[in-house]
Amino acid sequence: MILIDGSGAKRTKLQEENLKVFSELQAENKVVIKETAKQYGLSKPDDVFNLRAARFSISKFREAAYRLITQRLKEAQTELAFGQLLRAGVLNDFNNIYQAVEVTYPAVVREVASNKRQEFYAPLERVGFPKRVQKGESFPETSFKGLDKEIINSKWGMMLAIERELMDDDQTGQILQRSSQMAENTRIHEEAYVWGRISGQQNLSFDGEAIPYSSTYPVAGGGVYQTGVPGTSGGIHGNGNGVNATANGRISQTQITGGWILAKQMRDQSGRPMVVDPRLVAVSPQDIFFAETLLNSDYNPSKSSTASADDGKVGGSYAINPIKNLVGVVATRFLPDYSALLIDPGKGFVFQRRDPVEVVQENPQSGPAFSQEVFRFKVRTRWEADWVDPKFVINLNQSLSPT
């Protein structure tokens, strides 16, 4: 059984597939860095633009840049060219750090590339099954239904202003590295946003900004939970079709087995069987070790009796653990306390990425950069993450019960 905790020690096939999509889009930043290096005749841009090197100094970087620039450009253009080199350095550092930050959401969602304002998703459900046809009778017609969902890309970003004096007097490079720290925070924000939406909880926020409710499955009747996102004990489609929530309670052997049975009995809009195959259970930090114990113990970790006469019986001491290695565990700090979700990875929830994460520096010859000698860096990207079909996630503890 695999434990996914953000350390990057183990990756699933889905994580590798998502990493490929992610890396191909982020490669656009490498093109910008290489073009800048070529423009100024730099043969080893990775060494020049390494702002996290142990001996890096912004003053030495400025002096070396000016020497290089004066050989190629007029003196009046030196500040503008220095800004371009500095931006390339920050972008190189930002890109490397951003891609190195380990997150857990790629283990459960499907990441796709987007090339327009919005993407449409219309998954078709299973057609009907064969029926007995008597002699002389017509063959019965079958049908199928689908979902119609639209996910609109959102723009995300922030700005950081650094006074020139802070950069010039900084002997360790820590001030400039703050701009690269935005890379970590950008990746962490993605992690918090995705898990917040997957949890199905309202009134969640991160760094003072609300995590919006699902746009594809909006709140029904002002209730606590979105319509089936995830967790409708009566069925997303009514009539018991699409039940994706167990009775409330902290994660336990009973909750896991109950959720597993619900997944195997999943029904679509027409009431036909769906193939839902849970492979992971996502938990908050409080239940990481509890979930590991439940799913790794050789013997039953939830015995129902202390009587020695029950030893070896179902539910008793020394009985086998019926859920050993049943699913892997995803541990994330961004699920609400006591959350527990049984997940069929890569299905039902989409992370669509429109633009790569990039750093843009303000023109040093205009605006505050010129009048106040302030270097301003802007981070921008476009993406969105939302539900397509929540029947692939079973909520094991809707009310976040601690018992």
Mapping DSSP onto H, E and C, the string for 7-51 reads CCCCCCHHHHHHHHHHHHHHHHHHHHHHHHHHHCCCCCHHHHCCC
Tokens representing residue 251 in the block: 């994660």
The confidence score (pLDDT) of residue 70 equals 61
Whether the CB-CB separation of 337 and 356 falls below 8 Å is answered with no
Tokens 């020690």 correspond to what residue?
A: 9
pLDDT at 309: 47
* Dihedral Cα 103, 187, 177, 56, nearest 10 deg: 60
What number of other Cβ atoms are within 10 A of residue 207's Cβ?
Answer: 9
Q: Which residues make Cβ contacts (< 8 Å) with residue 83, sequence separation at least 6?
A: 361, 363, 364, 365, 369, 375
For 124, counting Cβ atoms within 10 Å of its Cβ (0-12 exposed, 13-18 middle, 19+ buried), the class is: exposed
Nearest to 281 by CA among 396, 109, 191: 396
Look at residues 216, 210, 209, 186 and name the one whose alpha carbon lies nearest to residue 353. Answer: 186
Q: Evaluate whether 231 touches 200 at the Cβ level (below 8 Å).
A: yes
Stated pTM of the model: 0.78
Q: What is the pLDDT of residue 52?
A: 57
| Rounded Cα distance, 374 and 370, in Å | 7
Q: Determine the pLDDT at residue 176.
A: 63
Pairing of strands 374-387, 154-163: antiparallel
Give the whole-angstrom CA distance, residue 377 versus residue 180.
10
C-alpha radius of gyration, the chain, whole number: 27
For 208-225, b/e burial (b = at least 16 CB within 10 A) is eeebebbebbeeeeeeeb
Q: Give me the residues paired with residue 124 across strands.
A: 146
CA distance 344 to 279: 6
Buried b (16+ CB within 10 A) or exposed e, 285-311: eebbebbeebbeeeebbbbeeeeeebe
Q: 90, exposed or middle or buried, with CB in 10 Å at 0-12, 13-18, 19+? A: buried
pLDDT in tens, the chain (403 residues): 566 665 555 677 887 877 777 676 666 656 655 666 565 555 555 555 555 555 555 555 565 555 655 655 554 455 555 556 556 666 666 666 666 778 899 999 999 989 899 998 887 777 888 888 989 899 988 887 777 889 999 999 988 887 777 766 766 666 666 766 777 888 899 999 999 999 888 788 898 888 888 888 876 655 445 566 777 877 787 777 888 888 889 999 999 999 999 999 998 888 888 899 999 999 999 999 989 999 988 877 765 545 554 554 555 666 788 888 999 999 999 999 999 999 999 998 999 999 888 877 776 666 776 777 787 878 888 999 999 988 999 999 988 888 8
How many Cα atoms sit within 13 Å of 170 on the Cβ side? Answer: 20
Quote the CA–CA distance of 146 and 47 in Å, as a whole number: 53
Name the strand (E) or helix (H) holding 381.
Answer: strand 374-387
pLDDT at position 76 is: 46
Q: In this structure, what DSSP letter does residue 165 have? A: H
Whole-angstrom distance, CA of residue 157 vs CA of residue 152:
17
Q: How many CA atoms lie within 13 A of 374 on its CB side?
A: 11
Residue 372 confidence (pLDDT): 76
| pLDDT at position 143 | 81
pLDDT of residue 58: 56
Alpha-carbon span 1 to 168, nearest angstrom: 51
Rounded to whole angstroms, the Cα distance separating 352 from 286 reads 30
